[in-house]
Amino acid sequence: MSEEVVRPRIRGFISLTAHPDGCAANVRKQVEVARAMAGEGAGGDGLRHVLVVGSSTGYGLASALCATFGYGAETLGVCLERPSEDDKVASAGWYNLAEAHRLAADEGRALHTINGDAFSHEVKQQVVDLLRARGAQLDLVVYSLASPVRQDPDSETTWRSVLKPIGEAYTGKSIDLRRGQVVDAHIDPADADEIASTVRVMGGEDWRLWIKALRDGGVLAEGARTVAFSYIGPEVSHAIYRHGTIGRAKEDLEASAAGLRAELSAGGGGAWVSINKAVVTQASAAIPGVPLYMSMLFDVMKAEGTHEGPIEQIARLYRDHLAPGVAPSTDEEGRIRLDDLEMRDEVQSEVSRRWAEVTTESLDDLTDFAGYQRYFEQLFGFSVDGIDYDAPTEIHRTLA
């Protein structure tokens, strides 16, 4: 037992602390949405066992919560989070899962977590062993890893992903998150090694290795489906995102979906990439220009009542594309499009107009930067309504 007053220590797109009660409250809110939005078939016997790789924050957490609380599936998650130690708080993802486990245990639902390096052979084997021991066959595998590094499981090599343009240097608007100022970011183009490393970390290779390990281990159900997440986004972000190193990795992920789809369709299942909306997560906050874009996008989408966070997106993914008996609808390239509302012409033309105009002086008028910052603080359990931040709280929480 160790009670502490936990204060925010946010540095740009990094938070050094996380508040256990704030994270718990966020999870409870997401669970409510997951339950409310679950469509027909929820609780039926179609979605029995689900694996989520990257289950502790962002899109992966939302996927685990929808599976467990929306569809009554037995869910196994894999993540890389830091538990508390002595007087040091745990990471936000750890506190998120502590609350999800507590709620699941209270309601007699099955949620399990393996906290370890998803890129390693050992963690893949642990997952297979656990599923076998439980006699579980997976209906759905959600691959939602976002990582800056990947240790090659077969050598000493460490690959690092970089967020850089390809071919030419990029100069474009961005927010200096520490000072709240609109600045010009300048990023030199990636070299060939950086491009290849980013594809190794964020491309489809590890997703394919997961599906192979699960198939070889005999823990994929007949008709199993798998989904991974990608992003396209607006023209203004293309140089750094879609046409940059991360975009190259996403092309590889999307090509992997086509290969996996062919393999899994034999049993009536399949593999898809879902193109999701821009949402505030640890991963997206680190991409130059994206926080500025999101600050504008959210302002526009909130005004027209179409704004969604990760849980609304994923609840829609399950309800409209992955629920038992539902066939995913896709674009002509075979991708699920959850970014349909973000990419509407009306939304994008308004964002482009504001993008061209925005300066530090007009930041508050043309964007919801304050709202963006609040979302970012909330990722770590701060600025959450109803939490007494002056009260000491238990920092040691377990994944019961």
The single-letter DSSP state of residue 88 is: B
Q: Is 118 in the site for ligand NAD (CB under 6 A)?
A: yes
**Size of residue set near ligand NAD by CB under 6 A:** 29
Token pair 């992903």 is found at 161
Query: Residue 249 or 358: which CB sits closer to ligand NAD?
Result: 249
Per CB under 6 A, the list member of 33, 138, 283, 384 interacting with ligand NAD is: 283
- Cβ burial of 217 (10 Å; 0-12, 13-18, 19+) is middle
The residue type at 161: S
Query: Residue 229 or 355: which CB sits closer to ligand NAD?
Result: 229
Q: Note whether 400 and 109 are within 8 A (CB).
A: no
Q: Is 284 in the site for ligand NAD (CB under 6 A)?
A: yes
Per CB under 6 A, the list member of 25, 199, 201, 278 interacting with ligand NAD is: 278
> d(Cα 338, Cα 343) in Å, to the nearest integer?
10
Q: Is 293 in the site for ligand NAD (CB under 6 A)?
A: no
Q: Is 21 in the site for ligand NAD (CB under 6 A)?
A: no
Q: Tell me the residue number closest to ligand NAD, measured at CB.
A: 58
Active-site residue, selected from the candidate residues 59, 71, 241, 318: 241
Query: Residue 70 or 204: which CB sits closer to ligand NAD?
Result: 204
Per CB under 6 A, the list member of 174, 226, 282, 367 interacting with ligand NAD is: 282
> d(Cα 384, Cα 374) in Å, to the nearest integer?
9
User: Among 65-73, 163-171, 278-286, 345-353, which window interacts with ligand NAD (CB under 6 A)?
Assistant: 278-286
Q: Note whether 240 and 163 are within 8 A (CB).
A: yes
Q: Is 55 in the site for ligand NAD (CB under 6 A)?
A: yes
The three-state secondary structure class of 188 is coil
Q: What's the half-sphere exposure (Cβ side, CA atoms, 13 Å) at 344?
A: 12
In the annotation, is 372 catalytic?
no
User: Among 73-81, 342-350, 369-377, 388-396, which window interacts with ligand NAD (CB under 6 A)?
Assistant: 73-81
Q: Is 93 in the site for ligand NAD (CB under 6 A)?
A: yes
3-state secondary structure 352-396: HHHHHHCCCCCHHHHCCHHHHHHHHHHHCCCCCCCCCCCCCEECC
Query: Residue 147 or 383: which CB sits closer to ligand NAD?
Result: 147
Alpha-helix residue ranges (DSSP H) falling in 229-270: 235-238, 245-265
Query: Residue 324 or 369: which CB sits closer to ligand NAD?
Result: 369
Q: Which two tokens stand for residue 253?
A: 């992920």
Distance of CA 243 to the CA centre of its chain: 21
The single-letter DSSP state of residue 303 is: H
Per CB under 6 A, the list member of 34, 78, 163, 224 interacting with ligand NAD is: 78
Token pair 């998803």 is found at 118
Per CB under 6 A, the list member of 4, 117, 176, 263 interacting with ligand NAD is: 117
Q: Is 209 in the site for ligand NAD (CB under 6 A)?
A: no
> d(Cα 134, Cα 185) in Å, to the nearest integer?
51
List C-alpha distances in Å: 310 to 82, 161, 301: 22, 23, 15
User: Among 189-197, 255-263, 271-279, 389-397, which window interacts with ligand NAD (CB under 6 A)?
Assistant: 271-279
Per CB under 6 A, the list member of 17, 57, 63, 367 interacting with ligand NAD is: 57
Which residues, 136 to 155, sit near ligand NAD by CB under 6 A?
144-147
Which are the catalytic amino acids?
241
Sites of contact with ligand NAD (CB under 6 A): 54-60, 78-81, 93, 117-119, 144-147, 229-231, 276, 278-279, 281-284
